[in-house]
Amino acid sequence: MIHNYSIHAGKVLHWDTSDSESLYLKNIQEPKLYQELLNLGFINTKIDYKFNSHGFRTIEFDDKIEVLCFGCSFTMGTGIHAKDTWPSQFEFKTGLKTANLGLAGSSNDTTFRLARHYLPLLQPKYAIWVQTDMHRIELLDDSIPISLNILAGDTSNPCAKDYFIKTWFSCDTNQQLQLQKNTLGFEMLCRLENIIPIIISRNAVPHIDYARDLQHPGKLSYQKLAKTMVDICT
């Protein structure tokens, strides 16, 4: 199953996407940002992005998985330790074996595609999805093979200059319909496999504190999100 992190399968990274070393070094030169990072516990602290053989920042799929978690960087946990992501905190609170299939920079298209493959394969009890920005689409090129996720306004991506893509992004109705189709598709996939779906809007993710990149939510934010999901399950 190809996705935007397939190339990292079996690897360990210490920096990823917006949680870059260059941004960190820049931030610590600013006294206020240095103090914020110090208060958050991120000064001279290593973060491991350890990916399993499928390219996800999670455990191997050897044992029975009871909960599958889907989403973007808010699920994968950009800028925080793996134990502090909401899937890990959800597992700690419930005792349910949980796997994190979140991928930074991915779209809701990606979630549907991953769900179509991994829900029948792993047969969890719950499938939890924190939806991402609807202004993203996924493009697949089977000949390479590669998965590209394009964000509206990302002019650095050569695909963003394509006439169809520019036109598609210019109308919010396209994105709204795409999100609705992915949501209905996800729910149907769960229903076919007798899996309980839990879907959370990205707008419902709290921002109490921040990750090392000072952009993404931090440990306390995900702790609150995990509690919300536990309450839904119970």
Query: Per mean pLDDT, which range of 12-16, 111-115, 158-162 is the poorest?
Result: 158-162
Domains of the chain: 6-229 (3.40.50)
Q: What is the pLDDT of residue 147?
A: 87
Q: What is the pTM of this model?
A: 0.95
Mean local confidence (pLDDT), 208-218:
97
Kindly report, residue by residue over 29-69, the tens digit of the pLDDT. Answer: 999 999 999 999 999 999 999 999 999 999 999 989 999 99
Q: What is the mean pLDDT of the chain?
A: 95
Contacts of residue 57, defined as CB under 8 A and 6 or more positions apart, other chains included, come to 5, 49, 50, 51, 76, 77, 82, 85, 100, 102
Q: What is the pLDDT of residue 144?
A: 84
Q: What is the pLDDT of residue 134?
A: 92
Closest listed residue to residue 150, CA positions, set 166, 158, 138, 141? 138
Kindly report, residue by residue over 171-206, the tens digit of the pLDDT. Answer: 899 999 999 999 999 999 999 999 999 999 999 999
User: Please, are residues 134 and 176 in contact by the beta-carbon 8 Å criterion?
Assistant: yes
Where in 37-121 does DSSP place strands (E)? 49-50, 67-70, 98-100
Kindly report, residue by residue over 137-173, the tens digit of the pLDDT. Answer: 998 988 888 888 888 878 777 777 788 888 888 889 9
